[in-house]
Structure 1
């Protein structure tokens, strides 16, 4: 059975949702028979490449909040991350265009290192003082994930490399009815949206395995869960 996960490295609920899904998968009896594929979804595709801004400032401006209120929003998300055993910095993080990261993740998928690169990118973005929006950092992350340095540099230097593949997956997400991430598609029949609790994912996997209808693709699981919308808005 294949599980496809649409996500964006800039989405905190994707970071949290991945950890929760993996806990749910670990409790699934047929976990060894599940193939997980991560697919592309940009929350802010119109952000100029190479331009970054502090996350706290971006949140304050987007929601019309004070900087202290924006910090409180980040701390709420951080508490959810930490409850899953994830590190999360509420200060010193940047926001920016993630298209190059998605292109590099396609290379990593072809080389069998996609999950490794995704974990490193999430950690760099949310837990470490490393910006994932510059080429030098992406090269280092690619090498740490086990990719060939020259190949990583070649992909980043060629803006057309994997660009069509990223756009195709984003169109596919829209066709499936995904208007936010994380978005999980089980066996191309059932959909679960948002950073659901681990037990919800276990139940979804069991029901998909048994062939029972959980939810049509494009819908959400019965329990509402926080997510990031296509306009870049993230629930807190």
Structure 2
């Protein structure tokens, strides 16, 4: 069974949904699950060098008072804590994630996409140091996760490196009608949207596994 997950490092629900889905896989008792992480930019119009304080950015984007944005972030922090995830509700930033997506594809080519994505999520949601707008920060995140510094710099210094892979993911999302993340697609036959409770993901995994087992296999 293949599960494709469209997500963005900016997205707290993607961070939370990834953990809940991983917990569901542990509980579902299903073997041979291939997880593929796909790119989706929540705001591709942001300048590459932008680093915006999260509370102010959310308030401006959604037309809410800073107090409401802060309260929303605090609720998300509570959900993250319940899932066993560190989460800073204030003091972090958000920005253009295209280079982050390119780094995930770079790592995926080495069979280590999950490691890169986890490192980027930790840097964004659990570290007060800005994660966006500075290529040197991305280099540090990747190196701390065990990736080769020169190889990472090579990707970041070449704007075409893995750019086509990111754009291909985004094109597939448009073709599938994905307009929000996280978005989970099971064998291109079943979809689950959002950071659903663990039990919802368990049910989806088992349903998709049953469907895969019932399909005829070529010899």
Same fold (TM over 0.5): yes
Give the corresponding residue for 1:196: 196
- The alpha-carbon deviation at position 85 of structure 1 amounts to 0.9
Q: 2: CA distance between counterparts of 1:196 and 1:184?
A: 10
Q: 2: CA distance between counterparts of 1:142 and 1:190?
A: 33
Q: 2: CA distance between counterparts of 1:80 and 1:169?
A: 28
Is residue 162 from structure 1 mapped to residue 176 from structure 2 by the alignment? no
Task: Tell me the secondary structure at the aligned position of residue 114 of structure 2.
Answer: helix
Give the corresponding residue for 1:136: 136
Aligned length: 211
Q: CA offsets, 1:139-167, max 9 Å, x none? A: 12222333211110000000011111101
Q: 2: CA distance between counterparts of 1:26 and 1:121?
A: 23
Question: Which protein is richer in helix relative to its size?
Answer: 2
Single out whichever of 145-154 and 162-171 deviates more from structure 2: 145-154
Is residue 187 from structure 1 mapped to residue 187 from structure 2 by the alignment? yes
Determine if contact 1:111/1:147 at 8 Å carries over to the other structure.
Answer: no
Determine if contact 1:6/1:184 at 8 Å carries over to the other structure.
Answer: yes
Determine if contact 2:51/2:130 at 8 Å carries over to the other structure.
Answer: no
Q: 2: CA distance between counterparts of 1:48 and 1:4?
A: 28
Instruction: Give unmatched runs, 5+ long, in structure 2.
Output: 213-219
Task: Tell me the secondary structure at the aligned position of residue 3 of structure 1.
Answer: strand
Q: 1: CA distance between counterparts of 2:30 and 2:72?
A: 38
Task: Tell me the secondary structure at the aligned position of residue 39 of structure 1.
Answer: strand
Q: 2: CA distance between counterparts of 1:186 and 1:65?
A: 35
Give the corresponding residue for 1:93: 92
Give the corresponding residue for 1:59: 58
Instruction: Give unmatched runs, 5+ long, in structure 1.
Output: 213-236
Determine if contact 1:92/1:129 at 8 Å carries over to the other structure.
Answer: yes
Q: CA offsets, 1:91-125, max 9 Å, x none? A: 11111100000001000001111111111111110
- The alpha-carbon deviation at position 197 of structure 1 amounts to 0.7
Q: 2: CA distance between counterparts of 1:41 and 1:64?
A: 23
RMSD: 1.2
Give the corresponding residue for 1:227: none
Determine if contact 1:3/1:185 at 8 Å carries over to the other structure.
Answer: yes
Give the corresponding residue for 1:174: 174
Q: 2: CA distance between counterparts of 1:184 and 1:27?
A: 17
Task: Tell me the secondary structure at the aligned position of residue 180 of structure 1.
Answer: coil
Determine if contact 1:184/1:191 at 8 Å carries over to the other structure.
Answer: yes
